[in-house]
Amino acid sequence: MDNIDFIFSAPGKAILHGEHAVVHGKVALAVSLNLRTYLRLKSNSTGKVSLCLPNIHTFMSWDVSSLLPLRPSTAADPKDMCELDAVLVQRLHHFTGFPSEMPDTCAMAVLAFLYIYISVFAESRSLPSFSLSVWSALPPGAGLGSSAAYSVCLSAAMLSLRGSISSTLVGTELTKGWSKEELELINSWAFQGERVIHGTPSGVDNAVGTWGGILRYHAGTITPLSRVPVLRILLTNTKVPRSTKSLVAGVRDKIKKFPSVMHPVLESISAVSVTCELTLEEIASDPMPEHYAVLEELIDINQHHLQVLGVGHASLDTLCRTTLAHGLHSKLTGAGGGGCGITLLRPDADCSVVQNVIQELKDCGYDCWETSIGVPGDRSCPPFP
């Protein structure tokens, strides 16, 4: 265990098309976002395990001996687990004794770490001691899969440390060539972390964090697209808070009130997702300008549909209007009602135009990043010097 020092990273997630419609059995496309979460693990012989989460100002440390009694009697296979180990969750809640002033975000992140750590090493003779730091370029609570990227990194690190996935240490570098089965194991444990944090997640976010690229989600089935181009985008956070639960309920109410009107809208959103999927396959083979023009039209169509569903917002209208003035096309991503939006950038987009748009959006009070979607998923990399 001495001198083990490695880093994992996992991408965030955005919805390219299909938000809200996916709740009603339609097709959605989820994409990996090249704003990543990083985890660094350094082994030690102190008999302590420490967790440092600078993005949410959380640092905790425990004696390994105090954690041993919390372990379940047998190691669970996450692929066979229909629900969390409720007894273990209760033990961890009681053990941690979080102060009342600690935000739920911090408490849930700590619980997810302890749950995965103790569960993965349930049948080991002892618990390993190490320091673990996790930091992220993803803003928390923005619907960009920050908790899932965190859970994916935790799962990959713990499974590598235990030897459950094939990792080879070369000096201080960790190399990996994970099989489909190993990625499924990482994803299964990451889903458990998401369950600790969110209760009943869909599984899309952790799947994107594990496999990366673009995933098709339909009626509970997640399928990675085999041929995926990496697309440049602007990601804009309007910083307008919203309640996903309320927005989903509002769409459901509108469908009940106007079923003959709204069901065709949902079908059209699904058709946008399917058409986009076919267009992306064409771009992967032959990236012609007309293919990007199709993507831009689909973005405009879907944004109009989402406004019809009632999940638009004045801040998102400002985003779309500002970017369109420069010939760029935008839509909301996620729940809507504020939150985040994405803007497609063609490969030949003029850098000065992009920078002007970014500045105008920042002048509106928004956060804005130039990044990419369709990037690789969970990966290991050399430690920083």
Q: Which residues form the domain of 290?
A: 231-373
Q: Quick one: pLDDT at residue 350?
A: 94
Task: Answer yes or no: do 148 and 289 share one domain.
Answer: no
| Residue 80 among the catalytic residues | no
* Angle of CA points 311, 314, 320, to nearest 5°: 90
Is residue 172 over pLDDT 50?
no
Distance CA 88, CA 143 (A): 28
What's the mean pLDDT in 295-322? Answer: 97
Task: Answer yes or no: do 213 and 91 share one domain.
Answer: yes
Distance CA 59, CA 219 (A): 39
Q: How many domains does the chain have?
A: 2
Distance CA 144, CA 11 (A): 9
| Residue 205 among the catalytic residues | yes
User: Given the DSSP bridges, would you call strands 231-237 and 340-345 parallel, antiparallel or unpaired?
Assistant: antiparallel
Of 147, 155, 273, 380, the active-site residue reads 147
Task: Answer yes or no: do 154 and 268 share one domain.
Answer: no
Q: What is the pLDDT of residues 3-21, one digit of tens each?
A: 778 889 999 999 999 999 9
DSSP 12-76: EEEEEE-TTGGGGT--EEEEEEEEEEEEEEEE-SSSEEEEEEGGGTEEEEEEHHHHGGGS-SS--
Q: Quick one: pLDDT at residue 168?
A: 54
Is residue 262 over pLDDT 80?
yes
Nearest to 196 by CA among 76, 114, 79: 114
Of 9, 205, 270, 378, the active-site residue reads 205
Task: Answer yes or no: do 99 and 136 share one domain.
Answer: yes
Is residue 150 over pLDDT 80?
yes
Task: Answer yes or no: do 123 and 12 share one domain.
Answer: yes
Task: Answer yes or no: do 187 and 246 share one domain.
Answer: no
Helix (H) or strand (E) holding 314: helix 314-324
What's the mean pLDDT in 223-231? Answer: 88
Check: CB of residue 225 under 8 Å from CB of residue 214: yes
Highest mean pLDDT of the ranges 171-180, 235-244, 310-319, 368-377? 310-319
Task: Answer yes or no: do 69 and 165 share one domain.
Answer: yes
What's the mean pLDDT in 356-364? Answer: 97
Task: Answer yes or no: do 171 and 241 share one domain.
Answer: no
**How large a percentage of the chain has pLDDT more than 70?**
92
Task: Answer yes or no: do 238 and 144 share one domain.
Answer: no
SS3 state at 136: strand
pLDDT band at 80 (very low <50, low <70, confident <90, very high): low
Is residue 171 over pLDDT 90?
no
- pTM equals 0.89
Task: Answer yes or no: do 190 and 303 share one domain.
Answer: no
Q: Which two tokens stand for residue 349?
A: 């987009």
Is residue 220 over pLDDT 90?
no
Task: Answer yes or no: do 69 and 214 share one domain.
Answer: yes
Task: Answer yes or no: do 180 and 243 share one domain.
Answer: no
**Residue 282, domain CATH:** 3.30.70.890
**Residue 96, domain CATH:** 3.30.230.10
CA separation, residue 301 to residues 66, 267, 344 (Å): 56, 13, 14
